[in-house]
Amino acid sequence: MFAQSVFRTRCACWLSVIGILLLLVGCAEEPSTLERVQSEGTLRVITRNSPATYFQDRNGETGFEYELVNRFADDLGVELQIETADNLDELFASLSKPNGPHLAAAGLVESDGRLPYARFSAPYLQVTPQVIYRNGQQRPTRPEDLIGKRLLVLKGSSHAEQLATLKLQLPELAYEESSAVEVVDLLRMVDEGQIDLTLIDSNELAMNQVYFPNVRVAFDFGDAQNLAWATAPGEDLSLLNEMDAFIQRAQTNGSLQRLKDRYYGHVDVLGYVGAYTFAKHLQQRLPRYEKHFRESAQTHQVDWRLLAAIGYQESLWQPTATSKTGVRGLMMLTLRTAQAMGVSDRLNPKQSIEGGAKYIVHVKKQLPESIQEPDRTWFALAAYNVGGGHLEDARKLTEAEGLDPNKWLDVQKILPRLAQKQWYSKTRYGYARGGEPVHFVRNIRRYYDILTWVTQPQLEGSQIADSNLHVPGVNKTPPPEELSPL
């Protein structure tokens, strides 16, 4: 009896030792996802090739998701390796494959229908699904208005999921799903009238409105939703926890907000009307003057897109523009500046552009050496608008406030004071409309960003024609060299 119980106890003991050993061996054989990322030294990420996620611009790889996930890889101390999926079904399927990507960063809405295929991180962006229609057509205002329309959405998208739910209530609703297109194609098809409607997320529209002058928001299709990164479904939370911690840090330190401003801020600055007006002028007006911008840019060694951005801010690319103060022409030269730059006819667009190019280079040269790029370019733009003397006054006031007179961010805060007597009375050059250069620089930077996205780098030297307008992510061009704007 006693011997039997000793035997049993020993057996149990051995069994637990074997159990623990097996567990350890098991652990050694199955490292966590985070351990695998670290031992590989590479974070493998799957995304979509589209303007709101990942694309190539003149500086190489870029895109909101790309930049965010690149920072995450940096924080983990590993390399980033990007792969792209042709469609959303493929993207989710690849997550669960053995040796599949570690995570998906692709503007994914966290939806119930996707939970069997993925685990989602903390959210990093709120978006609202929106029904998009073509300007000039009757505007749909409620779900019932979708019936009888040609409605196309991305296959496997959260929008397809939403429409399937709606169809349960509205059986007459018909729509198509396609895995052969991207969001930019859907917008183009609405813009060109090939389909009546589509459904996309608000961030995608904010990013793309400047390329498609005819697309408009019909109505918001339901509540705001969260975008999140995704990992394979399962119990392994090791990487997901790191992702959550990273997103939390990016939220706290403001880097996430800065990224949102850069990618989705156009509409904040330009407004929707400004964004689609810009898109229209890009197609209708810029081609008439592009040659002159390029030629003057070449002569004065500046980026032609910066000159074009100045021209848009000054006159919306209209050669006969005249300001209340009598400043005239496409580049809005004062009479004095025009004479100094050798411009005899300010209303001649070629001459105006040449004079403007010469002047911006001239004012930039006058700036103190202490102002470094990229601020130097922003200061040059401010001097173009308000004059070097007033700008110098604002720099002095900036310094007196304990701020940095060589940083645009600081000087732009002080410039509006040049319009207030208590401040301008203390300056050398006196009153100036100091708020104007702040808007001037902000807008030009925005136009310049857009122009660098929509012009194909490999087409440098050729004219922009409608067909050459480059929508990021649609045309996969190799990255060209970085250009300095001025």
Which residues make up the interface to ligand BLG (CB under 6 A)?
314, 323-325, 327, 332-334, 336-337, 359, 384-389
Classify residue 38 as exposed, middle or buried by CB count within 10 Å of its CB (0-12, 13-18, 19+): middle
User: Which residue's CB is nearer to ligand BLG, number 147 or number 340?
Assistant: 340
User: Which residue's CB is nearer to ligand BLG, number 333 or number 397?
Assistant: 333
User: Which residue's CB is nearer to ligand BLG, number 322 or number 468?
Assistant: 322
Rounded Cα gap, residues 215 and 148, in angstroms: 19
Q: Please, what is the minimum distance in Å from the beta carbon of residue 291 to ligand BLG?
A: 21
Q: Please, what is the minimum distance in Å from the beta carbon of residue 392 to ligand BLG?
A: 10
Q: Please, what is the minimum distance in Å from the beta carbon of residue 455 to ligand BLG?
A: 23
Q: Please, what is the minimum distance in Å from the beta carbon of residue 295 to ligand BLG?
A: 19
Tell me the sheet residues that pair with 227. Answer: 109, 125
Q: How far is CA 158 from CA 23, 162, 285, in A?
A: 40, 6, 38
Cβ contact 37:99 at 8 Å: no
User: Which residue's CB is nearer to ligand BLG, number 304 or number 440?
Assistant: 440
Rounded Cα gap, residues 174 and 159, in angstroms: 13
Cβ contact 108:159 at 8 Å: no
Q: Please, what is the minimum distance in Å from the beta carbon of residue 325 to ligand BLG?
A: 5
Q: Please, what is the minimum distance in Å from the beta carbon of residue 403 to ligand BLG?
A: 23
User: Which residue's CB is nearer to ligand BLG, number 31 or number 387?
Assistant: 387
Rounded Cα gap, residues 375 and 405, in angstroms: 11
What residue number has its CB nearest to ligand BLG?
387
The total of other beta-carbon atoms located within 10 Å of residue 405's CB is 21
Cβ contact 442:269 at 8 Å: yes
Rounded Cα gap, residues 47 and 66, in angstroms: 8
User: Which residue's CB is nearer to ligand BLG, number 158 or number 427?
Assistant: 427
User: Which residue's CB is nearer to ligand BLG, number 193 or number 389?
Assistant: 389
Q: Please, what is the minimum distance in Å from the beta carbon of residue 347 to ligand BLG?
A: 14
Cβ contact 333:341 at 8 Å: yes
Verify whether residue 40 is a known catalytic residue. Answer: no
Which is nearest to 75 in space by CA: 339, 261, 197, 255?
Answer: 255
User: Which residue's CB is nearer to ligand BLG, number 430 or number 479?
Assistant: 430
Q: Please, what is the minimum distance in Å from the beta carbon of residue 67 to ligand BLG?
A: 33
Rounded Cα gap, residues 294 and 290, in angstroms: 6
Classify residue 416 as exposed, middle or buried by CB count within 10 Å of its CB (0-12, 13-18, 19+): middle
Q: Which of 314, 460, 481, 482 is the catalytic position?
A: 314
- Return the active site residues: 314
